[in-house]
Amino acid sequence: MNVLKVISDSKSLEIFRDIAKGIVESDVLKQKEGISKKQFYSRIQGLMKVGLVKRRKGRFSLTNFGIVVYHAESVIEGGVSNYWKLRAIDSIQNSEQIAEHERMKLIKTILNDNAIENILVKQDSL
């Protein structure tokens, strides 16, 4: 089951995100993505095959696994958006001239993303 391969295609990822946001009618999804019927069904089939999406009574929704992957993808997107801030924190951290409590303050001050802050704080407790 290669989930990352399936959602690495930009159109598949957009379909996946749209389903997560509640746009579940196939006709609406096909029109929004601007792809052929065959391309759409090929991508939907891939999403369903890896267990991210299910269809019930002609409507698409995320599976529980799909919900987890969607949230993980959101965290990754947040990491990408905050790349330079994370690099700045790395630089300061590498200087080893900052106390741990000051590092935590720095992370909370620089980042505007609670999910990433929580990951960085938990990483230190491991």
User: What stretch of H or E contains 55?
Assistant: strand 53-56
Whether 51 and 95 share a structural domain? no
pLDDT in tens, the chain (126 residues): 699 999 999 999 999 999 999 877 777 777 776 788 899 899 999 999 999 999 988 889 999 999 999 999 999 999 999 999 999 888 887 777 777 788 788 888 888 788 888 888 776 555
Task: Look up the pTM and report it.
Answer: 0.80
- Domain holding 22, by residue range, is 3-63
CB 59 within 8 A of CB 29: no
CATH number at residue 45: 1.10.10.10
Q: State the total domains in the chain.
A: 2
Nearest to 52 by CA among 79, 75, 72: 72
* Strand pairing category for 53-56 and 59-62: antiparallel
Whether 86 and 54 share a structural domain? no
Whether 52 and 13 share a structural domain? yes
